[in-house]
């Protein structure tokens, strides 16, 4: 009893493990190819033969046909073997293969008679091609076509290489030439496009030559048909794509034309504001250039967003994936750039500086040579160009020495400390006289001196003057300091820096006769 129960349990487990509704796996179809032509697909087994064996038997039967049998048209006769109905294809009285209902592809929705007729036509073409292939005239004609195609291919390749070398020489001459401009760049682009067109035309000619050569032999005609069919299919696909894309392209063109018209109107308006012909409360001439860039960016961004859905291929997965990739790259890589752009807008719209202003910011002094989108370029007194990012400009105080100068020029100043034993009127006069003798300082408005502080040991004086050339600030201050020393030495007035603990018996000055001690040189008097 235990043995029977164990056997029953094992049998039940096998039934449970067996997949429900399991069927015999479908046999892969085999294509019957006769003389390089696809005649039919065989899927069913017949008379104990698998599809592969049926294909091999049909190919052997076709190869055994005589010339007289090949000249006869193929026939279709009903066949019923082992209870399986089908249609037999014969060449004369010799059967080639039998087409069964099980050989049909359900997705083609063809009847057996229709499928057999289609196979008969291909079999007729294969037999005719095999019969024709053995004729000497066909070999001579096909060989002539092949030789002509090879000669033409060699000649065209040599000609294309020669044209390529000539165009490349002209392109290199343009690159190495001293001229530059839009015309040169357009010519260079045209030469590069011509080189690409030469090789493209050569490829088309070689492709057409291959089709002609393959058509020269009956056995290779199917290959020529496939090559020509590929070109026809590609041309049809391109024509269909262009036709389908025309409405979208027209929409894109209309959107771009409207955007261009709006840009021209805004450009004219901003140009009138910049030249002073129009006055807008919220828009200043200094900010017109930045406003034009911002408006153009917004305008074309909106135009691109509006026309994006109508671009050819915009709805394809490749286009969407590329858009996501570009967006991710811009998001991850443009954080610093966006920061500088926003800081640049703050700098421009605060009107803290403009090109030509003499400024000092974060230890940098010089004249603004360019206010860019990401940074400000400053040329200092040593003729060095320094790039200051906009984020530095917004996070530090900007000293603009030219903004309020107007027609008076930039203001410079220097300090000097003099003892209480010197009359302040004399000190003022000496400072103003030294400024009057300093080249580079303007006489109008005249220099002036202030008493900045009454310290414990001396009086602190500061001399103010105006200059026209801010880049020469250091040289002018140096000349002014030399003139101040000469002026004070002339009148025997002591400069009281550094501090002292006891008043010396004699003034601490340099006598006039020692002004030009070696290695100093006596200046040449003017003629």
Which ranges in 177-220 belong to alpha helices (H)? 182-214
Report the chain's C-alpha Rg in angstroms.
Answer: 48
Q: What is the pLDDT of residue 502?
A: 66
Mean pLDDT of 127-145: 87
**What is the rounded CA–CA span in Å between residue 465 and residue 441?**
6
Residue 221 in domain: no
DSSP letter at 148 equals H
Structural domain of residue 442, as residue ranges? Answer: 406-500
Residues 423 and 492 in one domain: yes
* 491 lies in the same domain as 431: yes
Between the CA of residue 116 and those of 104, 253, 496, what are the distances in Å? 10, 54, 122
Q: Is 460 helix (H, G, I), strand (E, B) or coil?
A: strand
Burial of 218 from C-beta contacts in 10 A (0-12 / 13-18 / 19+) = buried
By the 10 Å C-beta count (0-12 exposed, 13-18 middle, 19+ buried), 443 is classed as: exposed
Q: Name 399's bridge partners.
A: 360
In this model, does residue 7 exceed pLDDT 60?
no
* 155 within domain boundaries: yes
More confident residue, 379 or 504: 379
**Same domain, yes or no, for 115 and 163?**
no
Residue 483 pLDDT: 93
Give me the pLDDT at residue 330, please.
66
Average pLDDT for residues 496-505, to the nearest whole number?
64
3-class secondary-structure state, position 314 = coil
Q: Is the pLDDT of residue 459 over 80?
A: yes
d(CA 354, CA 279): 19
Q: How many domains does the chain have?
A: 4
Q: For residue 515, what pLDDT is reported?
A: 72
Q: Do strands 385-389 and 375-379 pair parallel, antiparallel, or not at all (unpaired)?
A: antiparallel
Mean pLDDT, residues 224-252: 84
Lowest mean pLDDT among 139-153, 337-351, 474-488: 337-351
Same-domain pairing of 118 and 167 = no
Confidence of residue 16 (pLDDT cuts 50, 70, 90): very low
Instruction: Compute the distance between CA of residue 15 and CA of residue 508 in angstroms, rounded to an integer.
Output: 123
In whole angstroms, what is the distance from residue 61 CA to residue 249 CA?
Answer: 58
CATH number for the domain harbouring residue 431 = 3.30.70.100
CA distance 497 to 457: 9
pLDDT at 482: 92
Q: Please report whether residue 367 resides in a domain.
A: yes
Q: Are residues 127 and 141 in the same domain?
A: no
Taking residues 465-476, report their average pLDDT: 81
111/48 same-domain check: yes
79 within a domain of the structure (yes/no): yes
Q: Which of 74-83, 398-407, 422-431, 498-507 has the lowest mean pLDDT?
A: 498-507
Question: pLDDT tens digits for 356-375?
Answer: 788 888 888 888 888 877 78
The rounded percent of the chain whose pLDDT value lies above 90 is 16
Specify whether the CB–CB gap between 283 and 294 falls below 8 A. no
Q: Is residue 212 part of a domain?
A: yes
> What is the arithmetic mean of pLDDT over 165-186?
80
Q: Looking at the structure, tell me whether residues 47 and 125 fall in a common domain.
A: yes
208 or 335, higher pLDDT: 208
- Asked if residue 250 is part of any domain, the answer here is no
Is residue 424 a part of any domain in this protein?
A: yes
- What b/e sequence results for 334-350 when a residue is b if at least 16 CB atoms lie within 10 Å of its CB, and e otherwise? eeeeeebbebbbebbbe
Instruction: State yes or no: pLDDT of 23 exceeds 50.
Output: no
Using the Cα atoms of residue 200, residue 201, residue 205 and residue 208 in order, give the sign of their dihedral.
positive
Same domain, 422 and 450: yes
- pLDDT band (50, 70, 90) for residue 484: very high
pLDDT above 60 (res 10):
no
Residue 312 clears pLDDT 60, i.e. is over it: yes
Q: Which of 376, 400, 424 is the last residue of a domain?
A: 400
- Buried b / exposed e over 500-520, threshold 16 CB at 10 Å, is eeeeeeeeebeeeeeeeeeee
Task: Provide, rounded to the nearest whole percent, the portion of the chain with pLDDT above 70.
Answer: 82
Dihedral through CA 298, CA 304, CA 306, CA 308, nearest 10? -150
Two structure tokens written together for 326: 């570009």
24 vs 57, residue with greater confidence: 57
pLDDT of residue 359: 82
Least confident of 96-100, 226-230, 294-298, 505-509: 505-509
Distance CA 519, CA 58 (A): 116
**Do residue 392 and residue 461 come from a single domain?**
no
Do 29 and 51 meet the contact criterion of CB atoms below 8 Å apart? yes
Q: What is the pLDDT of residue 363?
A: 81
Q: Write out pLDDT tens, residues 248-276.
A: 888 888 989 999 999 898 888 888 877 87
- Is the confidence at residue 20, as pLDDT, over 60? no
In a domain, 332, yes or no: no
Q: Evaluate if residue 445 carries a pLDDT over 70.
A: yes
Q: Which two tokens stand for residue 527?
A: 């003629």
Examine the domain organization and report whether 373 and 431 are in the same domain. no
In this predicted structure, what is the pLDDT of residue 268?
87
* pLDDT score of 526 more than 80: no
Residue where a domain terminates, one of 190, 216, 242: 216
Mean pLDDT of the chain: 81
Q: Which of 157-161, 316-320, 336-340, 395-399 has the highest mean pLDDT?
A: 157-161
Which among 186, 216, 246 is the end of a domain? 216
**169 pLDDT more than 80:** yes
How far, in Å, are 167, 170, 389, 437 from residue 178 at the CA level?
19, 14, 35, 49
Quick one: 389 and 431 in the same domain? Answer: no
Do residue 93 and residue 110 come from a single domain? yes
């Amino acid at each position: 009893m235990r043995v029977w129960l164990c056997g029953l349990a094992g049998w039940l487990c096998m039934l449970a493990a067996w997949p429900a509704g399991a069927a015999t796996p479908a046999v892969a179809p085999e294509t019957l190819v006769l003389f390089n032509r696809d005649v039919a697909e065989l899927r069913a087994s017949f008379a104990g033969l698998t599809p592969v064996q049926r294909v091999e038997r049909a190919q052997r039967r076709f190869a055994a046909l005589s010339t007289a049998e090949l000249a006869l048209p193929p026939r279709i006769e009903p066949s019923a073997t082992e209870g399986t109905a089908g249609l037999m294809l014969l060449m004369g009285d010799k059967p080639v293969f039998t087409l069964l209902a099980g050989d049909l592809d359900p997705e083609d929705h063809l009847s057996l008679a229709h499928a057999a007729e289609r196979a008969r036509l291909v079999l007729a073409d294969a037999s005719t091609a095999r019969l024709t292939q053995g004729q000497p005239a066909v070999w001579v004609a096909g060989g002539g076509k092949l030789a002509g195609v090879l000669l033409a291919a060699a000649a065209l390749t040599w000609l294309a290489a020669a044209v390529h070398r000539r165009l490349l020489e002209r392109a290199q001459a343009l690159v190495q030439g001293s001229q530059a401009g839009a015309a040169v760049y357009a010519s260079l682009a045209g030469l590069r496009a011509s080189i690409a067109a030469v090789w493209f035309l050569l490829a088309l000619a070689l492709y057409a030559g291959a089709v002609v050569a393959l058509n020269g032999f009956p056995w290779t005609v199917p290959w020529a048909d496939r090559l020509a069919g590929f070109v026809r299919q590609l041309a049809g696909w391109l024509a269909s794509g262009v036709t389908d894309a025309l409405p979208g392209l027209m929409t894109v063109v209309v959107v771009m034309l409207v955007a261009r018209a709006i840009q021209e109107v805004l450009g004219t308006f901003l140009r009138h504001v910049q030249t002073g012909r129009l006055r807008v409360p919220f828009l200043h001439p200094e900010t017109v250039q930045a406003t034009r860039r911002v408006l153009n960016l917004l305008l074309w961004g909106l135009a691109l967003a509006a026309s994006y859905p109508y671009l050819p291929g915009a709805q394809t997965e490749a286009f969407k994936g590329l858009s996501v990739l570009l967006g991710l790259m811009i998001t991850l890589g443009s954080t610093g750039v966006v920061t500088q752009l926003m800081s640049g807008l703050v700098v421009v719209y605060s009107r803290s500086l403009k090109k030509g202003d003499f400024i000092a910011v974060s230890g940098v002094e010089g004249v603004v040579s360019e206010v860019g989108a990401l940074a400000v370029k400053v040329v200092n007194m040593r003729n060095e160009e320094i790039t200051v990012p906009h984020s530095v400009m917004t996070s530090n105080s900007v000293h603009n020495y030219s903004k309020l100068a107007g027609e008076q020029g930039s203001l410079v100043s220097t300090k000097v400390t003099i003892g209480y034993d010197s009359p302040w009127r004399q000190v003022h006069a000496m400072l103003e006289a030294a400024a009057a003798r300093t080249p580079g300082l303007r006489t109008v408005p005249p220099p002036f001196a202030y008493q900045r502080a009454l310290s414990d040991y001396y009086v602190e004086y500061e001399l103010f003057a105006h200059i026209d050339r801010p880049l020469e600030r250091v040289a002018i201050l140096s000349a002014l300091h030399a003139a101040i020393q000469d002026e004070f030495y002339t009148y025997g007035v002591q400069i009281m820096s550094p501090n002292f603990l006891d008043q010396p018996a004699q003034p601490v000055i340099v006598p006039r006769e020692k002004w030009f001690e070696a290695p100093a040189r006596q200046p040449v008097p003017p003629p």
